[in-house]
């Protein structure tokens, strides 16, 4: 009975991963730039990486099923669909294995975690899906051979942006807890940041001059005030607005060829993702360090009070051990 229950639970999680991948794919395909299936932001990759971290490597068949279902509607041929689905499965799995190997922590405790996600999870692992997928499209005749590098660059950066923007948002969101005493001013501030990012991004794309850099103050503000929980949604809003502006040829991108559009768009998306991820992680790390110092000072103040009153100092040893565990000595000679 227990084995049946565990198999049923695994089947449920695999089904959830498949449905989540397919739903994210349907959203991503609305932003296709090359043909009808290569987009500058591919959310399913981020969903897949997040599922692997939340549910374990055992749910990888769900990624494959979701990729098969999404690509079956696009073609071009059944063998091509299978190969593309294989690449879409292998890339997140390799990203997961690489990140686990280097000790990546999905709660983003340090800048190291953010950099590992950028270089291993996004830039390195996504070479697999982009290369295999683009080669498959060329062999199947879906794109001409001379369009290989243009398609490959869109595919690679799209998968990478999915990892950088979607995966952290899901991983952080699952750990987010709403405080019991939530300040109305904080809620208003968060809403204004999200709305402000959207308004500024849209305004910057409907004029001929490229003013998208105006969203960065909102990203920095949200990172400082709300850490990843605030910075990542604002970054995603800015990226989606920029992608829609490119696909609909808004004035900021009018007259540019596809290559120039892609360079401009992905440079912006990459800068937005890195600014949100790194700035929020650094700010959170600083705030945790400051809280540790404040707690240690409070402990010392209580100890001094106990000494002045002549009370026993049994808690001093425990305090010292806590401080040492939070700040272990370095290994320098």
pLDDT tens digits, 57-75: 999 999 999 999 988 877 7
Say what the pLDDT of residue 315 is.
54
What does the pLDDT read at residue 128? 95
Cis-peptide, bond into residue 76, ω within 30° of zero: yes
At 317 the pLDDT is: 53
Evaluate if residue 1 carries a pLDDT over 90.
no
SS3 content of the chain, % helix, strand, coil (to 5): 80, 0, 20
For residue 332, what pLDDT is reported?
40
Domain closes at, from 176, 204, 223? 176
Residues in the chain: 333
Helix (H) or strand (E) holding 47: helix 43-55
Tell me the mean pLDDT in the region 284-298. Answer: 83
**In this structure, what are the phi and psi dihedrals at residue 174, rounded to the nearest 5 degrees?**
-70, -20
- Residue 120: is its pLDDT beyond 90? yes
Q: What is the pLDDT of residue 65?
A: 95
- pLDDT higher than 80, residue 33: no
What residue numbers bound the domain in which 172 lies?
A: 1-176
Please tell me what DSSP assigns to residue 213: G
Of 50, 27, 48, which is closest to residue 39 (Cα–Cα)?
Answer: 27
156, 176, 196 - which closes a domain: 176
Closest CA to 28 of 63, 70, 60, 80: 70
Residues 170 and 184 in one domain: no
Residue 302 has a pLDDT of 78
- CA 284, distance to chain mean position in Å, is 16
Spatial separation of the C-alpha atoms in residues 194 and 225, rounded to whole Å: 13
Angle between helices 148-161 and 126-139 (to 10 degrees): 150
Decide: 55 and 9 in contact? Cβ < 8 Å.
no
| 309 pLDDT higher than 90 | no
Out of 144, 176, 208, a domain closes at 176
Residue 330 pLDDT class (50, 70, 90 cuts): very low
Q: Pick from 244, 84, 108, 105: which is nearest to 159 by CA?
A: 84
Q: What pLDDT is stored for residue 167 in this prediction?
A: 93
Which CATH number does the domain housing residue 61 bear? 1.10.1760
Residues 201, 147 share a domain: no
Other CB atoms within 10 A of residue 63 CB: 28
Based on the domain organization, do 169 and 289 belong to the same domain?
A: no
Q: State the chain's mean pLDDT as an integer.
A: 85
Same domain, 29 and 171: yes
> Which of 186, 235, 240, 233 has its CA nearest to residue 215?
235
Residue 176 has pLDDT above 80, yes or no: no
Q: Report how many domains make up the chain.
A: 2
Average pLDDT rounded to a whole number, residues 226-250: 89
Q: Of 151, 152, 148, 159, nearest to 124 (Cα)? A: 159
Confidence (pTM): 0.82
In this structure, the answer to whether residues 106 and 192 fall within a common structural domain is: no
**Are both 67 and 56 inside the same structural domain?**
yes
| Rg of the chain in Å (alpha carbons) | 24
Residues 6 or more apart whose CB falls under 8 angstroms from that of 41 comprise 28, 31, 158, 161, 162, 165, 239, 240, 243, 269
Task: Look at residue 53 and tell me whether its pLDDT is greater than 90.
Answer: yes
């Amino acid at each position: 009975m227990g084995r049946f229950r565990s198999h049923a639970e695994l089947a449920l999680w695999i089904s959830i991963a498949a449905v989540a991948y397919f739903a994210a794919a349907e959203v991503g395909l609305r932003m296709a730039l090359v043909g009808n299936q290569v987009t500058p932001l591919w959310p399913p990759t981020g969903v897949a990486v997040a599922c692997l971290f939340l549910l374990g490597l055992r749910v990888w068949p769900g990624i494959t099923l979701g990729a098969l279902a999404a690509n079956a509607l696009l073609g071009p041929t059944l063998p091509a669909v299978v190969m593309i689905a294989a690449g879409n499965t292998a890339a997140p799995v390799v990203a997961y294995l690489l990140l686990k190997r280097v000790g990546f922590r999905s709660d983003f405790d340090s800048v190291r975690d953010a950099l590992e996600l950028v270089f291993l999870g996004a830039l390195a692992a996504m070479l697999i899906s982009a290369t295999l997928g683009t080669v498959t499209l060329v062999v199947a005749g879906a794109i001409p051979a001379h369009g290989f590098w243009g398609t490959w660059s869109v595919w690679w950066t799209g998968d990478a942006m999915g990892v950088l923007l979607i995966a952290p948002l899901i991983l952080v969101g699952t750990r987010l807890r709403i405080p019991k005493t939530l300040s109305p001013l904080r809620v208003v501030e968060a809403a204004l940041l999200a709305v402000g990012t959207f308004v500024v991004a849209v305004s910057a794309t409907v004029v001929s001059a490229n003013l998208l850099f105006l969203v960065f103050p909102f990203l920095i503000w949200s990172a400082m005030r709300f850490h990843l929980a605030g910075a990542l949604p604002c970054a995603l809003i800015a990226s989606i607005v920029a992608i829609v502006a490119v696909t609909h040829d808004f004035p900021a991108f009018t007259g540019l060829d596809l290559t120039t559009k892609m360079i401009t768009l992905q440079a912006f998306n990459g800068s937005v993702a890195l600014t949100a991820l790194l700035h929020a992680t650094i700010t959170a790390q600083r705030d945790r360090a400051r809280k540790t110092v404040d707690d240690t000072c409070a402990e010392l103040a209580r100890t001094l009070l106990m000494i002045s009153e002549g009370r026993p100092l049994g808690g001093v040893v425990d305090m010292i051990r806590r401080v040492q565990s939070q700040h272990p000595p370095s290994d320098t000679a």
